[in-house]
Structure 1
Amino acid sequence: MPSYSYLFLAILLITTTTLPPPPAEAGGGEWQLMQKSIGIVAMHMQLLHTDRVLIFDRTDFGLSNISLPHGRCRHDPREIAVKTDCTAHSVEYDVPSNTFRALFIQSNVWCSSASVAADGILVQTGGYNDGEKAVRTFTPCPTCDWNELPDQLAARRWYATNHKLPDGRQIIVGGRRQFNYEFHPKTNANAKNAYSLPFLVQTNDLNEENNLYPFVFLNIDGNLFIFANNRAILFDYSKNNVVRTFPNIPGGDPRCYPSSGSAVLLPLKPKFLEAEILVCGGAPRGAFKEAKSGNKFIKALNTCARVKITDPNPEWVVEKMPRGRVMSDMVLLPNGNVLIINGAGSGSAGWENGRDPVLNPYVYNPDAPTGSRFEILKPSKIPRMYHSSAILVRDGRVLVAGSNPHVGYNFSNVMFPTELSLEAFSPPYLEPGLRNVRPVIVSPTGSGTKVRYGEKLKVRFGVEALVKDLVRVTVLAPPFSTHSFSMNQRMLVLEGSSVTNMGGPTTTYEVEVTTPGSPVLAPPGFYLLFVVHKDVPSEGIWIQIL
């Protein structure tokens, strides 16, 4: 693992010169190729509480590399690619067995959005062409498939963002040429209207838009933090009212699609009195237009901006990454650090618009001093450009897949071929040398232990070399990952009692924690619970907060 002096030197160098790609031997962590091909491109990914991952791309992409079972075919006269398609455009990947099966999506899910309902059912909305007003659901079970509900949305939702609300509904914000929002499900059969959001008009660039897939997070006061282009507001969705306007992000460059930076709500700490947003990377203004013309590929932004949205007078604080990147993904790790992975060093989102793959992940430690928060990790050998994605799974690894910066399933005569492989990245906390400090949860057991808001929960775990003061319990809502943004990604550090030795010959301990006190802090649904010791997490267990 790099020393702090090495990191300091690296950060110092990027302030004065362009940092070359890190050497292949740099950093910790390990990569493993899980599947050479899953048959489709992982444009969209969601982990379910069954430890299975839903993956899908688009139906107007041509023929995929995996057939639908039982002779099924999709027949669509409105399709612009293949009107009769007997290949799949969605798969379900089973993490424990490293196997996958084809699923049948009937309408076009390209550049759509989703969230998981409180009962664990994925509710997926919008897309393109025949899918733009569709709502699709997927109920987790070994043989289940997609259920399609056409024309359920009030507006066409393409490049929109979804967020779960405390009452169990989801809000769907924006989309291409949609300066409004709506809810699903509707409160009654006649409530299919969309509500105007002028902020999306104000942040729409005429040439590049840059307000698609806006960054949306539920604040601890129940309002929504909405970031589009280079601006942010705090929004009361129940009254259709802007509560606060935040300062523009320093530098003024856009961070949303197609400039495609990424953003994350940093872990909420006990007492839950503060909330911070971190926005990293992206493409400078004008980069999309230049890349699309093929004339110039502008270097990606190397800055992260952080703001405490609960402050009376919030201000953005800027720091530099080891290298600029666009189209990267930000994944919350069980110990509260942020993994920044995938993407390019220049250009923008869009086919053929990215150059200079950034193969090294970074880890960002939000609690470290400014100037020493980044660590460069071991690189992958596979470029992950446009339409790649990344998600955390229960054992602490990060699944990485996708990349297709051109039209169609093209594997030759292109700079970056269509990528159908699936990799797993093991962060440094999974190194074998840390086994003696890695906790193992003993109880609760089973899948989906039900807990209530504000409930006391006893968590029992084993560990060989315990330091009692360095134990934390975290809960994480697995997100829907697409286009460099993970919707509904949310972590809370639970308030806990002191660690108790349970006695006997085994090294077993117990800590009592308090679950979040309200659905404003943690909307109802399935969460992964981890015990973290000396920044090394256990495998997670599923709990359902109701």
Structure 2
Amino acid sequence: MHMQLLNDDRVIIYDRTDFGPSNLTLANGKCFKKDCTAHSAIYNSISNTFRPLTVLTNNWCSSGATLPNGTLVQSGGYRDGERVVRTFQPSCKTCDWVEIPKQLLQSRWYATNHALPDGRMIIVGGTKAFNYEFYPKTPSSKLFTMPFLKDTTDPKAENNLYPFVFLHVDGNLFIFANNRAILFDYTKNEVVRTYPTIPGGDPRSYPSTGSAVLLPIKNIEMGSDKIEAEVLICGGAPAGSYLKALNSHKFLPALNTCARMRYTDPNPTWTIETMPMARVMSDMVVLPNGDVLIINGAGKGSAGWELGREPVLTPMIYHPNEAPGSRFELQNPATIPRMYHSCAILLRDGRVLVGGSNPHAYYNFTNVLFPTELSLETFSPPYLDSSKTRLRPVITTKNIGGKIKYKKNFTIKFSVKGLIKPDSIKVTMLRPPFNTHSFSMSQRMLVLTKKGPIMPIGLGQYKVKIVTPRSTNIAPPGFYMIFVVHQNIPSKGIWVQLT
């Protein structure tokens, strides 16, 4: 149900705690409330190994983000977990979850977290929670009301849960819920700007559950008033889909459109694009080359238990820089349906880890349309095809790992076996997000600015000088993966801590 890539290449995976016993036994014979099975695990993407973790309070439909030091902070859930904060420290072979009760001022179920420029995270909304708060807490911490969340609530279907939240390059937040969006100043608790309603008026957030990404941010050495920012929202379910599926078992076709808006324009408007197929509950993953993978989901119905039909097995790649009408590229179909409660996240080697799918109230493996799915698999984008090996960069710099500062030049050395096209070289920087319910929280990619030409330094060896982001508004402090991209083919990433 939830995934986060940590800065040691391990992946935190967890489910709710009250589904009943899982298929993974707790370590050292532990048992809690007569349950001796694990509801969380940590998966090592390098060694392909895993170990069980212990989570006690119910983290069902919770949210999360990472702090500047890489610690995962996971918040909220259901009943005994609704005000709990749970932390996990990376780069520790024996660490487990630390659970801190009553840390949240408001019960949070289906909320959204986002990393902030000052190192805190904001926690927005949730079921009947028309407000926001911050973590870590201080003695003066308090709740802040957000009327926008109440205004976008359907009293029966609640289509404002898991709102899409993105940090804008000026430090404000772009927030989308139901079918509307605002630019919000969380420091003053006021709406800075209201955007047009999405064309057609259909909801896109949970349980209508489309997905959204902030497209790669370029020209990051400029002032925030000169940087363009675009949001892309794809799929979802038409108005009324959730209630018709829930009450009448009528499963409406999902939406087959994406809406794209450059919301920094003086008069921004949504541009509608038609996908090759309709999707609800899909995941959108920003790839190292700036393309967007659209994977998982269903062709009919809605998010919710037993409410999805017609699994969509064919992933698509969206090429944001291509001309309209030629941006979608179909991929080879999968064999495992991944619908409600599935996840997808980018790994440092450029693959996408995909796992889960459980549309049932409990674990159910037999005599159902879509059994509970316990497997993990990876999707390999076309840039990993063996025919592209000679064009694939390999980062050779030895001393770039560790901490890097803002507004600094640094040099990356890399090699390419074949002939290079210098004009096609770019360097990207990606923050690994927290993924749940078809939305990747704090997902963010920057195209770093090159300072000067690509310089050869030996046979097949090159270097490129790059400038880091100019402010924490453009890139909140924390761990990022840096990639060298040649002819749209990325290297393996390297970890850096922007501080």
1:94 paired to 2:44:
yes
- 1:74 to 1:499, Cα distance in 2 relative to 1, 3 A: farther
Partner of 1:114: 64
3-state SS of the aligned residue for 1:49? Answer: coil
Which amino acid letter does the alignment assign opposite residue 354 of structure 2? V
2:388 aligns to what?
Answer: 434
* In 2: Cα distance, 1:337 partner to 1:190 partner: 42
Over the matched positions of the two proteins, sequence identity in percent amounts to 62
- Who is 1:157 aligned against? 108
**In the TM superposition, what are the counterparts of 1:154-193 in structure 2 within 5 Å?**
154-186=105-137, 188-191=138-141, 193=142
Q: 1:440–1:539: 8 Å Cα contact kept in structure 2?
A: yes
Match status 1:528 vs 2:481:
yes
Tell me the distance in 1 between the aligned counterparts of 2:136 and 2:352: 31
Q: Which residues of 2 match residues 247-396 of structure 1 at below 5 A?
A: 247-271=196-220, 273-396=227-350
The answer on whether the counterparts of 1:499 and 1:509 sit within 8 Å (CA) in structure 2 is: no
Number of residue equivalences: 492
* 1:445 positional shift: 4.7
Q: Measure the CA separation in 2 of the matches of 1:73 and 1:224.
A: 42
Amino acid aligned to 2:387: G
Out of 52, 63, 75, the position equivalent to 2:10 is 52
CA contact (8 A) 2:455 2:464 kept: no
Q: 1:190: how far off?
A: 3.6
Q: CA deviation at 1:294?
A: 4.3
CA distance in 2 between counterparts of 1:364 and 1:445 reads 34
Distance 2:167 2:28 in 1: 43
* Structure 1 gap ranges (5+): 1-42, 76-83
- Structure 2 distance, partners of 1:469, 1:185, is 44
Q: Which amino acid aligns with 2:254?
A: A
Aligned counterpart, 2:186: 237
Deviation per CA, 1:481-517: give whole Å up to 9, x if none. 000000000000000034444443x310000000001
Q: 1:461 aligns with which of 414, 426, 443?
A: 414
Contact 1:53–1:92 (8 Å) recurs in 2: yes
The Cα offsets for residues 2-37 of structure 1, whole Å up to 9 and x where unpaired, read as xxxxxxxxxxxxxxxxxxxxxxxxxxxxxxxxxxxx
Within the alignment, does 1:487 sit opposite 2:454 as a pair?
A: no
Equivalent of residue 67 in structure 1, options 3, 25, 35: 25
Moved more, 285-294 or 218-227: 285-294
Describe the SS at the equivalent of 1:201.
helix
User: What whole-Å deviation, never above 9, does each CA across 1:119-157 have from its counterpart, x for those lacking one?
Assistant: 010011000110000001000111110001000000000
Distance 1:445 1:95 in 2: 23
Residue type of the partner of 2:490? P
For residues 231-282 of structure 1, the C-alpha deviation after alignment (integer angstroms, 9 at most, x for no partner) is 0000000000000010000000000000000000000012461100000000
**Number of the residue aligned with 2:403:** 450
Find the residue that maps to 1:453 and give its secondary structure.
Answer: coil
Output the amino acid matched with 2:493.
G
The answer on whether the counterparts of 2:77 and 2:110 sit within 8 Å (CA) in structure 1 is yes
Q: Which residue identity does 1:467 align to in structure 2?
A: K
Is the CA contact (8 Å cut-off) linking 1:304 and 1:318 kept in structure 2? yes
SS in 2 for 1:494: strand
Distance in 2 of aligned mates of 1:264 and 1:62: 34
Structure 2 length-normalised TM: 0.97
Aligned with 2:375 (options 403, 413, 421): 421
The 2-side partners of 1:190 and 1:369 are apart by 50
Q: Secondary structure at the match of 1:74?
A: coil
Map 1:189-204; keep pairs closer than 5 Å.
189-191=139-141, 193-204=142-153
Q: 2:53 aligns with which of 94, 103, 109?
A: 103
In structure 2, distance between residues paired with 1:277 and 1:367 = 14
How far 1:312 moved relative to its partner?
A: 1.2
Q: Is the 8 A contact 1:441 1:539 kept in 2?
A: yes
Give the deviation of 1:522 after TM superposition: 0.3
User: Amino acid of the residue matched to residue 177 of structure 1?
Assistant: K
SS of 1:124's partner is strand
Give, in whole Å, the separation in 2 of the partners of 1:166 and 1:500. Answer: 31
The CA distance in 1 between the partners of 2:23 and 2:395, in whole Å, is 40
| Equivalent-residue separation in structure 2 for 1:239 and 1:522 (angstroms) | 21
How far apart in 2 are the matches of 1:143 and 1:105?
Answer: 14
Q: Does the residue aligned with 2:243 lie in a helix, a strand or coil?
A: helix
Alignment of 1:15-30 (within 5 A): none
Say whether residues 1:228 and 2:177 are aligned partners. yes
Pairwise CA RMSD: 1.0
The AA in structure 1 aligned to 2:136 is P
1:375-407 CA-to-partner distances (Å, cap 9, x unmatched) read 000111000010001000000000000101111
Q: CA deviation at 1:293?
A: 2.2
1:3: which partner in 2?
none
Q: Which amino acid aligns with 1:492?
A: L
Give the match's secondary structure for 2:105.
Answer: coil
SS for the counterpart of 1:85 is coil
| Residue 83 of structure 2 corresponds to residue 133 of structure 1 | yes
Moved more, 435-444 or 153-162: 435-444
For 1:328 and 1:363, the matched residues in 2 are separated by 12
Q: Is the 8 A contact 2:457 2:463 kept in 1?
A: no
Higher relative contact order (CA 8 A, sep 6+): 1
